[in-house]
Copies of this chain bind each other. A is one copy, B any other.
């Protein structure tokens, strides 16, 4: 029932007898319809979110009212707002379901208890953080050193099915460019080949 989570954890650490039962006690399953929000700006996000099925986007709205998509979260990924989760402060992010989705949630209190009780979970979390930090650093580097066309090509290489699941204007926002620019990038790529 929470198979995907177990499978993901097993990619990082070894599980012992009983670990899976232990985990089951800590997570709650939630259904979210397309277009609905897990949370919005101003909420205190005192829980973590694991995507079981479907798809989510995390974005902020800046002072000019422009949306900036920070993350797409596919099944097997974590999403939410780490900053709000660890500090207790309110979030500036929105997390919206782009498809009918299922998510596992775990409260901050349960989370801390789990880290305390289950060394394997601590280890899993640490490795996840390490990889997450490296990935974010790489994205930052890409933002500074790469032009629009290369960013787009890199994205569809990394997530080949994203074009089938996400409208282009959201992809543009994720890549830090306007919809019009992405449109022109794409038309140039098709005519050139």
Partner-B contacts on A (CB < 8 A): 60, 62, 66, 68, 70, 82-83, 86, 122, 125-126, 129-134, 136-141, 143-145, 176
Contacts and interface: CB of A to CB of B under 8 A. Distances in A.
A81 to B, nearest CB: 9
A152 to B, nearest CB: 15
A145 B125 CA distance: 30
Number of copies: 2
A82 B130 CA distance: 7
B145 A143 contact: no
Given A133-B136, A137-B136, A176 B144 contact: yes
Contacts of A83: 134, 137-138
A173 to B, nearest CB: 9
Chief secondary structure at chain A's binding surface: helix
Given A70-B137, A122-B122, A136-B136, A176 B143 contact: yes
A52 to B, nearest CB: 23
* Shortest 9 CB-CB contacts between residues of A and residues of B: A129-B129, A144-B176, A83-B134, A136-B136, A143-B143, A62-B145, A133-B133, A140-B140, A68-B145
A134 B176 contact: no
A147 to B, nearest CB: 11
Nearest to A175: B144
Contacts of A70: 137, 140-141
A141 B86 contact: no
Contact of A126 (B66, B122, B137, B140): B122
